[in-house]
């Protein structure tokens, strides 16, 4: 039996990164409590030693979640792809602000040693993201602040909230700015789906010559990080002495058109791209990982192609089971 270490809370344990984090930490010998408003869809809730169904927009629920906990990974968020956060911007800001305020206050009251916050690349200024020449944003580029979405503004506010709790109350905090995390066992259909999972499913269901819809003109560029690399970097950050915001992402930028081509090649299919007038987000953005290399001795290990292959295969198998 693996020796048990500290007691760890993972909020958002019913979601994509959260349930992967539960599995990751448990494999390292930690006692893990998962908390979410729903159970994981693609894995067992029993992967956590304890799983509580709680709405973390409520402070009393957050107190229950953090009771007896040494460290907490706060991975809960009301989020989806660009279409979702553009349409439901008020709900996204309200829910996420409530969650982050309540988790922090409950952690303070229950004397949790350290809290991890998953911020996002959306905090970076819209200025500089208007062209397809992807800017590799460094952490200090967050200011002067001008995020391009309400989702980004809320994440930036919450970063400052976490830092304020650290300065005033001495609560240990770690802040990661995630850049488009993807992999198996995530949402792959519906309004919350993100680009990679959306295209994997569309292409898995398509025949040669079918159409695949792309928001905008497909030239917009992003970087994508496989979930296993995200987990390792997040864990190293949590266990480090570094308490300022830190990028966790890939430095390789690809266009959405290129992304579709790579997945199509993996599937062995030739498809027709059709462009539609819907929100496409920034034209270009990627991560500068210099600080992560320096502070965590970390760099991604899984290539985009390998990560896409694993994700596509999982989504293809899920769809085959439904047919």
> Longest C-alpha distance within the chain, in Å?
60
Q: Give the architecture (CATH level 2) of 7-181+226-250+288-302.
A: 3-Layer(aba) Sandwich (3.40)
157 Cα distance to chain centroid: 17
The predicted structure's pLDDT at residue 45: 87
Angular region, 221: left φ>0, alpha ψ -120 to 50, beta rest = beta
Q: Which two tokens stand for residue 78?
A: 């009301």
The predicted structure's pLDDT at residue 237: 98
**Residue 115 near residue 171, CB atoms below 8 Å:** yes
Instruction: State the average pLDDT over residues 73-90.
Output: 84
**Residue 122 near residue 152, CB atoms below 8 Å:** yes
Closest-CA residue to 319 (of 212, 213, 205, 207) = 205
CA torsion through residues 51, 54, 55, 61, sign: negative
Residue 39: strand, helix, or coil:
coil
pTM score above 0.85: yes
Instruction: State the average pLDDT over residues 297-305.
Output: 98
HSE value, Cβ hemisphere, 13 Å, CA-based, for 53: 4
Percentage with pLDDT > 70 across the chain: 97
Q: Express each pLDDT in 283-298 by its tens digit.
A: 889 999 999 999 999 9
Closest-CA residue to 31 (of 56, 68, 60, 63) = 68
Task: Specify whether 151 is catalytic.
Answer: yes
The predicted structure's pLDDT at residue 323: 44
Q: Which of 30, 73, 124, 151 is catalytic?
A: 151
Closest-CA residue to 48 (of 6, 13, 4, 12) = 13
pLDDT category at 320 given cuts 50, 70, 90 is confident
Element (H, E) at 222: strand 221-223
Q: How far apart are CA 105 and CA 152, in angstroms?
A: 22
């Amino acid at each position: 039996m693996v020796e048990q270490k500290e007691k760890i809370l993972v909020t958002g344990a019913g979601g994509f990164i959260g349930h992967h984090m539960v599995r990751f930490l448990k494999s390292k010998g930690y006692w893990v409590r998962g908390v979410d408003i729903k159970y994981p869809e693609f894995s067992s809730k029993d992967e956590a030693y304890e799983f509580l169904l709680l709405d973390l927009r409520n402070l009393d629920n957050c107190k229950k979640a953090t009771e007896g906990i040494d460290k907490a990974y706060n991975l809960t968020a009301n989020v989806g792809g660009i279409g979702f956060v553009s349409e439901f911007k008020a709900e996204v800001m309200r829910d996420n602000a409530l969650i982050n305020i309540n988790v922090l206050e409950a952690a303070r009251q229950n004397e949790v040693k350290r809290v991890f916050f998953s911020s996002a690349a959306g905090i970076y200024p819209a200025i500089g993201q208007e062209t397809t020449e992807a800017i590799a944003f460094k952490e200090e580029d967050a200011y002067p602040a001008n995020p391009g979405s309400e989702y980004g503004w809320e994440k930036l506010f919450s970063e400052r909230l976490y830092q304020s709790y650290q300065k005033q109350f001495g609560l240990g905090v770690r802040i990661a700015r995630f850049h488009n995390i993807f992999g198996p066992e995530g949402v792959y259909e519906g309004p919350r789906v993100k680009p990679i999972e959306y295209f994997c499913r569309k292409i898995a269901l398509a025949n040669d010559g079918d159409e695949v819809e792309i928001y905008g003109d497909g030239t917009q560029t992003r970087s994508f990080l496989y979930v296993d690399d995200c987990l390792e970097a997040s864990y190293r950050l949590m266990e480090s002495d570094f308490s300022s915001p830190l990028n966790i992402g890939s430095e390789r930028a690809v266009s959405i058109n290129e992304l579709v081509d790579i997945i199509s090649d993996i599937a062995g299919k030739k498809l027709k791209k059709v462009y539609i007038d819907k929100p496409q987000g920034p034209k270009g953005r990627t991560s500068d990982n210099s600080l992560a290399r320096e502070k965590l001795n970390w760099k991604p290990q899984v290539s985009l192609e390998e990560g896409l292959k694993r994700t596509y295969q999982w989504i293809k198998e899920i769809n085959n089971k439904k047919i």
